[in-house]
Amino acid sequence: MRGVAKRLPKWFASLLYAIESGVVGFTAVDTAIRLSRGENVNLVLIPIAIILAIHLTYLLWRDLRVRRVNKWTRKAIEFKKHGQYDEALAAFDRVIKLAPEYWLPWNNKANLLNNDLKRYGDALATCDQAIACGVSFVGIWSARGDALHALGREDEALAAYAQAIAVPASNNFISWANKGEALEGLGRYEEALAAYDRALALRHMEQ
């Protein structure tokens, strides 16, 4: 950005410098004018400069957020790989705090709690928090069903697996197989067989 700034009016280059330094909105424009050291500034351009300052600040913030999300996701995966589950959970929580609308850290955290730590109540709470944040993804509903199944709450597990199947573009064999297992646990064997048949058919289609 510094190379481009050299070809711009001094006050505008100062605006970019102010934004790079973490100054936002009108404060960035005021800082730019002061840094321009008396250069004649067209006052008509100041509202445009304010809008531009806010927009550029947002773009810089968004880029920083993406880099932080990627950084903490990589850390969480490495922690899990080496059996450092508490550290992995903390890293997933950092990602969730940065991007609560992103389904992957919620799903990874729930799977870690379910599969590695056997903390089914915490996994269920994680899924419920994700759903409350508007995250409706097949993996979240499947993990919720897994937690409920492990807790012996088969009716609720069945409902969760049904939700997983109902998510658009998520008609996968795992969700149907999980549904079959839940139905089997309830003694509804004919329905369980039908679900298993559906799972097998989808499995062949995905191969």
Rounded mean pLDDT of 180-194?
Answer: 77
For 120, the 3-state DSSP assignment is helix
- Mind listing the pLDDT tens digit for each residue in 112-157? 999 999 999 999 999 999 999 888 788 899 899 999 999 999 999 9
Question: CB–CB of 179/142 below 8 Å?
Answer: no
Kindly tell me the number of DSSP H helices and DSSP E strands found in the chain: 11, 0
Residue type, 111: N
Is 0.75 topped by the overall pTM? no
Domains of the chain are: 103-207 (1.25.40.10)
pLDDT in tens, 25-63: 445 555 555 544 555 555 545 555 566 666 665 665 666
Q: What are the distances in angstroms from CA 138 to CA 38, 55, 128?
A: 59, 34, 13
**Pairwise CA distance, residues 172 & 205, whole Å:** 10
Residue 207 CA to residue 202 CA, distance in Å, equals 9
